[in-house]
Amino acid sequence: MEKNKKITDFGKKYFKWQVPEYDKRERPKIWYILASALAVILLLFSIKTGNFLFAIIIIIAALVIILHDGKEPEKVDFAIYSEGVKIGKRFYDYEEIKNFSIIFKPRKDVKNLYFEFKSGIKHRLSIPLEDMNPLQIREILLKYLKEDLERTDRPVSEDLAKLLKL
């Protein structure tokens, strides 16, 4: 944990830590066998129905998964400032953010910070808290954002992605 009082272009820096660029899922061989079988079935279906665009999409998706699997996620910096939050090179002003929530369930290995954006186009931002103290993070964010107290669990989309190892 870094409590820095350094003033930057983004205001006062409260916290900074590193998070993985994305969650890398460990997939067993059976996952690849089932995914390959599903891809072949969908390819055959797309050829039979003459939907060649769908076949191209399936091939591209398979290539993306194969290329992505061989790469380890990079660590990116995440920081909370008085003017907003920064992940990697992208800065989000608090005016863009609708609310935040912190889900802390150590028994389920869940310790995440979530930001919902005012714009419906931007997706939810999920940040692992790593070794950070959730109470200190919450205390700072409450100065700038509304907390979503109704969120008590990880989003269903994250649970589904974890289950399907996506």
Which tens digits make up the pLDDT trace of 46-67? 999 999 999 999 999 999 888 8
Size of the chain in residues: 166
For tokens 């969650």, the residue is 23
pLDDT of residue 1: 47
Rounded Cα–Cα distance for residues 72 and 6 (Å) = 32
Which amino acid is residue 144, in one-letter code?
Y
Q: What is the pLDDT of residue 122?
A: 82
How confident is the model over 137-161, as a mean pLDDT?
Answer: 82
Q: What is the pLDDT of residues 71-106, one digit of tens each?
A: 787 889 999 999 999 998 999 999 999 999 998 887
What percent of the chain clears pLDDT 90, i.e. is strictly above it? 48
What pLDDT score does 56 carry? 95
User: What are the sequence ranges of the domains in the chain?
Assistant: 7-22+77-150, 29-69
The whole-number average pLDDT for the span 146-163 is 74
Residues 6 or more apart whose CB falls under 8 angstroms from that of 11 comprise 81, 82, 83, 84
Indicate the average pLDDT of the chain. Answer: 85
**pLDDT attached to residue 24:** 73
As a whole number of angstroms, the distance between CA 114 and CA 139 comes to 15
DSSP at 153 = S
Q: Per-residue pLDDT tens for 24-45? A: 777 888 888 998 999 999 999 9
